[in-house]
């Protein structure tokens, strides 16, 4: 994913106030991470016709320098379902990063673990490869999990990504709308960014759901939440979301660096846009204070 390292205090984030599941999830994360070396962090906000959900946090661990015993115990300490734990035990030694995350909705919490594999050498021709396997499950009453594969299109240029975005499924009007927005954001950001390196595009697939989505990497491009104000407002209007809610999100998170934009159709078959923003350990501590 290539996230932000745990460093200086980041700008504010609109954590849901007095939401106990956020507090519990952050507490679980911090306990699991106790004593580990420098980590990577992101906060994220998902927009969909169902609402605006900013109660999301992800952190990355490098297996290097971490004992095997830690990863042997992680399924138990993080509550990973048994079927996923078996996959995790077999796969984590091959990974360059392991990400732990949660998504706190109003009535339930989704916990997540992502396995990121080493990338191949850059290619002059576009070739897909599996870069991340993501596993997600709800905590209660019984863990119900599903897997998402994230494929990177190695060798894809920004121009190639723009062409990809302008050729969505014509039978899916929401995808047409979303991808056109993404193409415009990518074009405008590229025009202003100058020497912008490390661009990536990921394609997300789930065999057991209608999820059909992609992600674009914007780190080092200068893109912030505030610069997306017009796009986010238009999206909120399109989905009839409360104007006050989206304006509050933009006002609080406006100075956050946007690292990734993911968009498409979700597991629930609803369209969505998720912003992943640079964060730090301080964000987790702030979330506990506001949500406890």
Could you report the per-residue pLDDT of 211-267, keeping only the tens digit for each?
789 999 999 999 999 999 999 999 999 999 999 999 999 999 999 999 999 999 888
Distance CA 194, CA 199 (A): 13
Question: Angle, to 10 degrees, between the axis of helix 243-253 and the axis of helix 229-238?
Answer: 160
Q: What is the pLDDT of residue 238?
A: 94
- Residue 7's pLDDT band (cuts 50, 70, 90): very low
Residues 97, 91 contacting (CB under 8 angstroms): no
DSSP 257: B
Distance CA 158, CA 94 (A): 29
Instruction: Return the minimum-mean-pLDDT range out of 3-7, 71-75, 83-87, 202-206.
Output: 3-7
Average pLDDT (126-142) is 86
Cα pseudo-dihedral 205, 264, 146, 107, rounded to 10: 180
The predicted-structure confidence for 266-289, as pLDDT tens digits, reads as follows 888 889 999 999 999 889 888 877
Q: What is the pLDDT of residue 169?
A: 76
At residue 261, the 3 state secondary structure works out as: strand
Cα pseudo-dihedral 176, 182, 187, 189, rounded to 10: 170
Instruction: Return the minimum-mean-pLDDT range out of 130-139, 180-189, 203-212.
Output: 203-212
Asked if residue 164 has pLDDT above 80, the reply is: yes
- Residue 48's pLDDT band (cuts 50, 70, 90): very high
Average pLDDT over the chain reads 89
Could you give the count of Cα atoms lying within 13 Å of 141 in the half-sphere of its Cβ? 0
Asked if residue 90 has pLDDT above 90, the reply is: yes
Q: By percentage, how much of the chain surpasses pLDDT 70?
A: 93
Average pLDDT (7-20) is 74
Q: By percentage, how much of the chain surpasses pLDDT 90?
A: 61
Q: What is the pLDDT of residue 56?
A: 95
pTM of the model: 0.92
Distance CA 110, CA 45 (A): 14
- Residue 202's pLDDT band (cuts 50, 70, 90): very high
Helix (H) or strand (E) holding 112, with range, is strand 109-116
Q: In this structure, how many other beta carbons lie within 10 angstroms of the beta carbon of residue 142?
A: 8
C-alpha pair distances (Å), 146 with each of 84, 92, 132, 138, 140: 9, 18, 14, 10, 15
Nearest to 163 by CA among 123, 126, 206: 126
62-71 CB contacts, 8 Å cutoff, 24+ apart: 62/37, 62/96, 62/97, 62/98, 63/92, 63/93, 63/95, 63/96, 63/98, 65/37, 66/36, 66/37, 70/36, 71/98
> Sign of dihedral through CA atoms 150, 153, 159, 163?
negative
Question: Which residues partner with 205 through β-bridges?
Answer: 149, 212
Domain count, the chain: 1
Supply the range of the domain harboring residue 241: 4-291
The predicted-structure confidence for 66-88, as pLDDT tens digits, reads as follows 999 999 999 999 999 999 999 99
Could you give the count of Cα atoms lying within 13 Å of 272 in the half-sphere of its Cβ? 23
């Amino acid at each position: 994913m290539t996230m932000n390292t745990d460093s200086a205090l980041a700008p504010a984030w609109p954590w849901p106030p007095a939401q106990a599941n956020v507090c519990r999830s952050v507490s679980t994360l911090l306990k699991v991470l106790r004593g580990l070396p420098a980590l990577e962090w992101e906060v994220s906000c998902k927009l969909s016709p169902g609402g605006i959900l900013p109660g999301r946090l992800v952190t990355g661990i490098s297996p290097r320098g971490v004992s095997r015993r830690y990863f042997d115990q992680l399924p138990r300490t993080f509550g990973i379902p048994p079927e996923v734990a078996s996959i995790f035990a077999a796969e984590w030694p091959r990974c360059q990063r392991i990400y732990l995350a949660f998504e706190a909705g109003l009535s339930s919490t989704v916990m997540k673990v992502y396995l990121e594999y080493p990338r191949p050498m850059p290619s002059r021709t576009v070739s897909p490869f599996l870069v991340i396997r993501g596993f997600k499950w709800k905590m209660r009453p019984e863990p119900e999990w599903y897997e998402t594969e994230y494929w990177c299109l190695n060798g894809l240029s920004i121009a190639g990504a723009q062409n990809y975005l302008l050729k969505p499924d014509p039978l899916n009007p929401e995808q047409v709308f979303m991808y056109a927005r993404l193409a415009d954001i990518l074009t405008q950001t590229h025009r202003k960014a100058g020497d912008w390196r490390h661009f990536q595009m990921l394609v997300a697939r789930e065999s057991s759901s209608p999820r059909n989505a992609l992600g674009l990497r914007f780190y080092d491009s200068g893109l912030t939440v505030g610069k997306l104000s017009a796009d986010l407002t238009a999206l909120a209007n399109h989905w009839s979301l409360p104007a006050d809610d989206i304006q509050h999100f933009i006002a609080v998170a406006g100075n956050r660096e946007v690292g990734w934009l993911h968009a498409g159709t979700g597991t629930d078959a609803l369209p969505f846009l998720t912003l992943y923003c640079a964060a730090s350990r301080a964000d987790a501590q702030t979330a506990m204070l506001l949500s406890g």
